[in-house]
Chain A
């Protein structure tokens, strides 16, 4: 049999839950060359299948889960899986990323991507084993927390199987409900869990597949993979991350006063070490490490505590360590582990959760939400763990004020009092990630432009900090001088963001973890293009692969333009643009709209997009072979 595609199956599995239909769609090298892999392909599919008029919680939404082009190959850290859907939080295209083994196993069963259409009337789950696909009643799993549901499903389907699941929060359509793979790996943001909850899909189970990944040039790819493995083992940032986890970023952020605490009122604090990865190791919370599929860095934490009834879980990552740590004034590490476990098993995004709870605490301090004291049985004051636990329960099960909080900050602040929106750290429906963007300005620009919302997982401009020699070298390469490394600076930020957006799109699409080439630097675009060519047989180069990255980013922008987005949406939460922040050394920073606008101007110029509306021009779209989006662009460009 002659393979027409290498490194991928060339197959998309479609499941229609409304009509109980299942079919397989094939694709070839022409699409792979243009869109690289999961994220790119899924964006292309989304353009065709999800109407701009479709409501996120309706039968018209389609949710895609896909493994990367390098997933299932011997390349390390390439098991990342992309989840694409219309978000009920932002009402727009949303891409989430997740580790674990689900994507790997889906691929070994013969499918690169699964697309879930429509909705079931009763709770179901999908079972996949090679050519056998079943839609199975899930009544007895509905309501179970993710950990319990996983155990029950593996008992049923065997140890060779793996799960993708939603928890009670997804079932209750919480707007920041997550989708979890292999229990503790989380496609957290954007409310993907609610999308599946609406579809009454408890999850997807993949069995032991009998396919393999066939590479175009296996010998060459294998040798290149070994080189990457050795690069990873020698990379400064990745060595620290392996031992101390992603929360090893905490003290660096504290040092540079970019660690958001007390709902972004402070950007450093004396208890930061209690939220640091080094502390988890030193104080004995860490009992093991966990890796995503194929990843030798294995930065996930297996932690335990005797307190809070005894907790044995995976986490906390950096974002969680801050969102449910310093952000809410919590320096109790045992509590942090408990809070993380609750988010894990209920299926909640910890960044949005922390953002909501931080807003609650600040609002309460300012005299709002007085009813909460009676509802929770305790005051939601800063650092109050009992209140936080109760809030998490109420949000998950939509009890009392929790029902409103489950809608996310964009909705709730307006419902309570528009004045409270001043400290609602959200924009376009998504809560802001855990870095002080008034000071870290590459992050600020990236956050303003990110299709997801004010969030780091589209660029991860960690190099901006200049914590390592490699980071400084990259900043020099992108902006002309190492002097531009370090936060609090404006120079070169648009150049930094453009490069990161492009390489990140490629990285996601091949299934590689972004930490390998944006936070650590074991891989660059040259190596990515060599690997792509070895794996798929498709001719590539640094320029070509970055062009594909640009293509994906531009397509995602056009998808959102079609959904109603333009430059006026490229903004940041009110507090970030209107309040100043003071560093430990007493220096004050303000990020004004004027500064943001001037960075946006330069960004659109670099991109070749229309400056006024922030929309890609027809000539740029044609250059990127995105002709099918030109009509839409013209429609919006011609409007006043």
Chain B
């Protein structure tokens, strides 16, 4: 990761509070399905580039040109953490986002099932552990590159959760269309 340790120390954050503008809003209607968010996310975190190593997940129904990204919006109550049998998911107090403690994770996938927004990437053939958005320590890269505006800095919590819920309903439709 690019000087991540340095960034943690430098990241401007308020003691005991989190910056709303570091958070990400999803606007599904504006997604053009380009995947650049995924490639940027994976390169930033892993120094290697693949859509499958990304914490933001783009769902696409190409036959209907319907697309949406989804990513963790840090639901209060953290159902992913509650579902984890080994206590491998904890909350990062600086960002409010879940962190997966790889040394405790058993790759069981229970967190994925519990996530209300399909926002946890878990492809064991690609990477053994779940991938959850960590807001890139305060400067989310995907937002910087999303010109269509499907991923933007959040302005209100309501908007953030609304966007994620809209994304979720699109994802449910896409998944059911392509299930036999």
Contact = CB atoms under 8 A, between A and B. Distances in A.
A209 B126 CA distance: 8
Contact of B49 (A215, A292, A293): A215
B65 to A, nearest CB: 4
A296 B36 contact: yes
A76 B36 contact: yes
Nearest to B180: A155
A183 B125 CA distance: 26
Contacts of B60: 101, 159
A295 B36 contact: yes
A293 B147 contact: no
B107 interface: no
Given A72-B39, A74-B43, A295-B36, A214 B48 contact: yes
A232 B147 contact: yes
Q: How large is the interface on A (under 10, 10 to 19, 20 to 34, 35 or more residues)?
A: 35 or more
Contacts of A290: 32-33, 65, 67
A76 B50 contact: no
Nearest to A229: B145
Interface string B86-127: 000000000000000000000000000000000000010110
Interface residues of B, number: 41
Given A73-B39, A159-B178, A288-B29, A226 B145 contact: yes
Contacts of A73: 39, 43, 49
A288 B32 contact: yes
B63 interface: yes
Interface in B12-39: 29, 32-36, 39
Interface string B68-89: 0000000000000000000000
Give the 10 A-B CB pairs with smallest separation, nearest first: A291-B34, A298-B32, A212-B50, A296-B147, A291-B32, A212-B48, A302-B65, A213-B49, A210-B126, A218-B47
A208 B33 CA distance: 16
Contact of B39 (A154, A209, A292, A294): A294
B144 interface: yes
A74 B145 CA distance: 10
Interface in A228-242: 229, 232-233, 242
Contacts of A184: 62, 65
Nearest to A73: B49
Nearest to B179: A155
B65 A314 contact: yes
A130 B52 CA distance: 13
A297 interface: yes
Interface string A443-466: 000000000000000000000000
B133 interface: no
A537 to B, nearest CB: 15
Interface in A492-517: none
A312 interface: yes
Interface in B51-67: 51-53, 59-60, 62-65, 67
Contacts, number: 138
B40 interface: yes
Given A154-B178, A222-B43, A108 B34 contact: no
Interface of A: 72-74, 76, 79, 100-101, 104, 108, 130, 147, 150-151, 154-156, 158-160, 162, 182-184, 208-215, 218-219, 222, 225-226, 229, 232-233, 242, 288-298, 300, 302, 312-314
B136 interface: no
B51 A108 contact: yes
10 contacts: A73-B49, A76-B145, A101-B60, A151-B178, A155-B179, A222-B43, A226-B144, A229-B144, A291-B33, A296-B147
Contacts of B59: 159
A467 B168 CA distance: 43
A161 to B, nearest CB: 10
B37 to A, nearest CB: 10
Contact of A74 (B36, B178, B179): B36
Given A289-B148, A294-B36, 13 more contacts: A79-B35, A108-B50, A151-B177, A159-B60, A159-B175, A183-B62, A218-B43, A222-B40, A233-B147, A288-B32, A296-B36, A298-B34, A298-B147
Contacts of A226: 144-145
Contact of B53 (A150, A158, A212, A296): A212
A291 B69 CA distance: 14
B178 A298 contact: no
- Most chain A C-beta atoms within 10 Å of own C-beta, residue among B36, B177, B179: B36
A291 B148 contact: yes
A184 B62 CA distance: 8
Contact of A293 (B35, B50, B52, B125): B35
A355 B67 CA distance: 34
Contacts of B40: 74, 222, 225
B117 to A, nearest CB: 16
A150 to B, nearest CB: 5
Contacts of A159: 59-60, 174-175, 178
Given A154-B178, A155-B178, A211 B50 contact: yes
B145 A72 contact: no
Contacts of A212: 42, 46, 48-50, 52-53
